[in-house]
Amino acid sequence: MPLYLIAALPFLGALLPGLMIRAGRNACAWATASATIAALVGLLVHAPAVMRGEVIRTQLNWLPQIGLNADFMLDGLGLLFALMILGIGLLIILYARFYLSRQDPMGQFYTYLLLFQGAMVGIVLSDNILLLLIFWELTSLSSFLLIGYWKHLPEGRQGARMALTVTGSGGLAMIAGMLILGNIAGSYDLSDILQSRDAIQASPYYLPALALILIGAFTKSAQFPFHFWLPHAMAAPTPVSAYLHSATMVKAGLFLMARLWPVLAGTPEWFYLVTSFGLITMVLGAVIALFKDDLKALLAFSTVSHLGLITMLLGFGTPIAAVAAVFHIINHATFKAALFMTAGIVDHEAHTRDIKRLGGLRRLMPVTFLIAVVAGLSMAGIPLFNGFLSKEMMLEEASHTYWAGSPWVVPVLATLGAVFSVAYSFRYIVHTFLGPQRDDYPSKPHDPGTGMWLAPAFLALLVVVIGVAPFVVEPLVKVVAGAVIGEAGTLPDFHLKLWHGVTPALFMSAIAVAGGAIALALHRPLNRGWLAMPRPEAKPAFDLAVLKCAQAARWVTDGLHDGSLTRYAWIGGAAVMAAGAAAWFGGDAGTATRTGLPATPVAVTGWALLMVATGCIIAFHRNRLLALVLMGVIGLVVSISFAYLSAPDLALTQISVEVVTIILMLLALNFLPNRTPVESTMSRRVRDGLVAAVGGVAIAGLTYAILMRDFAMTSIAGYFLENSYKGGGGTNVVNVILVDFRGFDTFGEITVLGIAALVIFALTESVLDGRGGRWLANWVPDQRRAGDRHPLMMVVATRVMMPIALMVGVYIFLRGHNEPGGGFIAGLVVAIALVMQYMASGYAWATARRRYPYHVIIALGIIVAAITGAGAWLAGKPFLTSAFGYFRIPPLEEFELATAMGFDLGVFLAVVGAVMLALESLSRLARRSGAAVNPHPMDINPERDLAAATGTTPEEAR
């Protein structure tokens, strides 16, 4: 099975729970498990090759131009984490089936779970850091959904927001670090980066990249000072805690540090950063865990402590420390997931997780007690359980580690962390299950059905098997450790065994067990001292930081966004001009290579008209109708300029757009006062005038500088000119660019155009159905309307022009690939012909003769364009790749047919539909306004008017 399919199966499986929940909870659970089982089987197929030391790779070129390839890699490290993600995920699916109540939407839960599972599998199998970053952020988003699954709990919503904020912020830092790392290595593929150890560590950007990447890893793995989010995420259902916060999500940071260990480890910076933060997290988490009364909170802080332990081992930078880290990752996943599930069982049956309200459950819940004892003793590091073995290896490595030249700092603090680890592990067992039975449990506890305890029992069995016979996992540990070390060192010869002789680690371990037992015996006085001790609380600090950030953002936003469009315009204009000035004066434009052409009388006349019209708009802009007429003059002059400068396509487009927009704006002006009120002070007008003048001079100067210099034809323009005919089959370069070279841009533009028209329609509907509609119905125009609502000459002229305009539109459409024209211009021409019918004969008459809704025309245009583009896939070409050929049908001359015509047809339909839907929406407003007092010109009966003018009956006129 390809690696990309293994990563995709959970995402595909996420579609099943929402469908299968209708068939029952069992069917939903089985459907969810089937996707995980399929991915697990696909992984196990590759396991023998990986265990032989091979690396499985699957390469898919996605966006190779920017180094983004969908490449996947499976080595020992990826195999271990994928096995944990899919294997423990399968157990969580079983556990959740019986844990969730009937009131919990199980289909939704399993969907979120599979989305998270797919994101995690994607992280550990990615062979490209950009692809890894995508999956990394998906884990933050999907875990947000899982943590906040119980939306009715405020603490659940807050925990989800906190987790997303912390891990998402760390992810942003990690993105920057990864980009730096890829830039140093010259590649974004992990396989290449892992071969660039010397170049990376010698780079001056090594330390910034290291710090940024570690911020991402530390936030995800809850390292100090980012540890506080993990306990608050315990508001999630216990299956989420058991999966995300013991075996998968929190280990993503550990995976990242292990994956990049060959190129980042071995430097003093790595040692002091990773070791120090890991050591602090280990001790701090263990101390806090001892004094937590909530079972899940105790386990959460114990998870923080063990994550710090593994981080510390990776920070040591020695091969045997990496081996110990790998081994403890395996052991921690087994006993911690089992412990979380037992805590969930206790909560599920006793209806409380408060240790002070528990105790004496040993006889009431014997099966749960046995599982908890096995997993708890392993967490404490007691012999014959797997946690003991990796804890001994950790203590052994700590005893040989110097920090800042001191041989005591690391061993003493590591032993102290182990003391508290033993204490909170014993407390979990003793205070929950031992002691006398109580008669005040919130609910009578008892062991649940097999479905709920089977998963943790299986994990407890692994705890014992690995603890007694560690040789069963030794091959896996060696393969994984070899993948972690890579070419940065040599994997030492080691054997996992129960007895290592009399070593410093043995004495440190004995001190830890004895000290932990004493700490448990003195828990009450120690707890009183802990509660009385002033200490900083992370949650209030986090809440205060979020509040201050929100206040600062609100201050900036309110200061910049005060609702004044002119203010936005001058700030934006000034910023653009400042950036342009910096680029201009900081670069070298070179000397002019062209000479200016003589100014002809036509050019001077056009320039004078343009300047006069622009100046008149500035002087008379408060008269809205006059300003609109002057805008039409400017648009006409610009169209003539395009034609004069040999740009007929632009000229046709410009003049067509001008006609349509002027008509629509005239209709909109019907609802506005004749004059714009004075809203700006003189100082603001002076400021805006200065900004506009400087901007105009800058643009004029830049245009002049560009026109006076030559450009090499190797530019994109030269490419279009050279390949328009032989690559796109058309001699009209502008049209070929729109429908072929940049067809995807055009597809996006017609989609946005259609959406804009639909928004206008939706706004019109809301106005007509609300108070605005009632206001329009009672509105009396402030000026007398023309008595002749439908001038006969205009009605006749538009009826005669309609077929001619349609024929011109078809002609422009057909010639567009080789001559000026195309679907966009043809659509505007046809839209103008239809607009004229509305203007001459009115809304009612035109609408009554409309055969298809304009919504359908827009949709049909986009669908036709999409189908044309997708047709390229059948030929194995990228989306919107056009094909063309030349044909001869006697007695016709040879002609060309291109698939781009289908795309152009979609553009044509979308443009016609969008323009007409906008017109129809505004016309409906106009028709409603003042209809009871003075009917609007758009609301007409042309047959009646024609009959009155000719002295015939309406039937004869029709």
Q: What's the pLDDT score for residue 776?
A: 59
CA angle (625 as vertex; 622, 630 as ends), nearest 5: 90
Q: How far apart are the first and last CA of the chain?
A: 72
Beta-strand ranges (E) seen in 408-554 are none
**What is residue 292's three-state secondary structure?**
coil
Least confident stretch, 64-78, 250-264, 457-471, 854-868: 64-78
Least confident stretch, 66-75, 636-645, 856-865: 66-75
Mean pLDDT, range 702-717, rounded to an integer: 76
- Tell me: pLDDT of 519 over 60: yes
Q: How far is CA 274 from the centre of its chain?
A: 29
Q: What's the pLDDT score for residue 936?
A: 41
H-assigned helices in 504-537: 504-521, 523-532
CA 591 – CA 589 distance, rounded (Å): 7
Structure tokens at 191: 């396989």
Q: Torsions phi, psi of 286, nearest 5? A: -70, -40
CA 120 – CA 86 distance, rounded (Å): 9
Confidence label for 842 from pLDDT (cuts 50, 70 and 90): confident
Please tell me what DSSP assigns to residue 196.
-
CA angle (942 as vertex; 938, 943 as ends), nearest 5: 155
452-478 pLDDT, tens per residue?
A: 899 999 999 999 999 999 999 999 999
Is 945 or 602 the better-scoring residue by pLDDT?
A: 602
Tally of CB atoms within 10 A around 73: 23
- Residues 33-55 as b/e (b if ≥16 CB within 10 A, e otherwise) read bebbbbbbebbeebbeebeeeee
Please confirm whether the linkage preceding 891 is cis (ω < 30° from 0).
yes
Identify residue 155 by its one-letter amino acid code.
Answer: E
Q: What are the residues facing 61 on neighbouring strands?
A: 69
Q: How many helices (H) and strands (E) does the chain have?
A: 43, 6
Question: H or E stretch including 895?
Answer: strand 895-898
CA 247 – CA 569 distance, rounded (Å): 52
Q: What are the residues facing 56 on neighbouring strands?
A: 74
Asked if residue 189 lies in contact with residue 570, where contact means CB atoms within 8 angstroms, the answer is no
- Tell me: pLDDT of 617 over 70: yes
Q: Which of 6, 9, 25 is nearest to 17 (CA)?
A: 25
- Residues 732-751 as b/e (b if ≥16 CB within 10 A, e otherwise) read bbbbbbbbbbebeebbebbb
Asked if residue 395 lies in contact with residue 504, where contact means CB atoms within 8 angstroms, the answer is yes
190-223 pLDDT, tens per residue?
A: 988 999 898 999 999 999 999 999 999 999 998 9
CA 222 – CA 167 distance, rounded (Å): 9
**What is residue 744's three-state secondary structure?**
helix
Helix, strand, coil in percent for the chain, rounding step 5:
75, 5, 25
Contacts of 503 (CB under 8 A, 6+ apart): 396, 399
Confidence label for 122 from pLDDT (cuts 50, 70 and 90): very high
**What is residue 823's three-state secondary structure?**
helix
Confidence label for 375 from pLDDT (cuts 50, 70 and 90): very high
DSSP string, 376-419: HHHHHT-TTSHHHHHHHHHHHHHHT--BTTBSSHHHHHHHHHHH
136-192 pLDDT, tens per residue?
A: 999 999 999 999 888 888 888 888 888 898 999 999 999 999 999 999 998 888 988
**What is residue 72's three-state secondary structure?**
strand
What percent of the chain has a predicted confidence (pLDDT) above 70? 93
CA angle (205 as vertex; 201, 208 as ends), nearest 5: 105
875-920 pLDDT, tens per residue?
A: 888 888 888 877 777 777 777 788 888 888 999 999 999 988 888 8
Asked if residue 367 lies in contact with residue 457, where contact means CB atoms within 8 angstroms, the answer is yes
Q: Torsions phi, psi of 646, nearest 5? A: 65, 45
Q: What's the pLDDT score for residue 679?
A: 72
Structure tokens at 107: 């289909």
150-166 pLDDT, tens per residue?
A: 888 888 888 888 889 89
Please tell me what DSSP assigns to residue 896.
E
Beta-strand ranges (E) seen in 61-155 are 61-63, 68-69, 72-74
Confidence label for 777 from pLDDT (cuts 50, 70 and 90): low
Least confident stretch, 56-60, 66-70, 277-281, 581-585: 66-70
Tally of CB atoms within 10 A around 300: 27
The domain spans of the chain are 1-208, 265-552, 730-958
Confidence label for 559 from pLDDT (cuts 50, 70 and 90): confident
Q: Torsions phi, psi of 561, nearest 5? A: -105, 85
Cα–Cα separations (whole angstroms), residue 347 to 91, 448, 919: 19, 11, 63
Q: What's the pLDDT score for residue 950?
A: 46
CA 162 – CA 143 distance, rounded (Å): 11
- For the purposes of burial, counting CB atoms within 10 Å of the CB of 340, is it exposed (0-12), middle (13-18) or buried (19 or more)? buried
- Tell me: pLDDT of 714 over 80: no
CA 401 – CA 76 distance, rounded (Å): 27
CA 478 – CA 480 distance, rounded (Å): 5
- Mean pLDDT, all residues of the chain: 86
CA 619 – CA 331 distance, rounded (Å): 80
Tally of CB atoms within 10 A around 636: 19
Q: What's the pLDDT score for residue 111?
A: 93
Q: What's the pLDDT score for residue 686?
A: 84
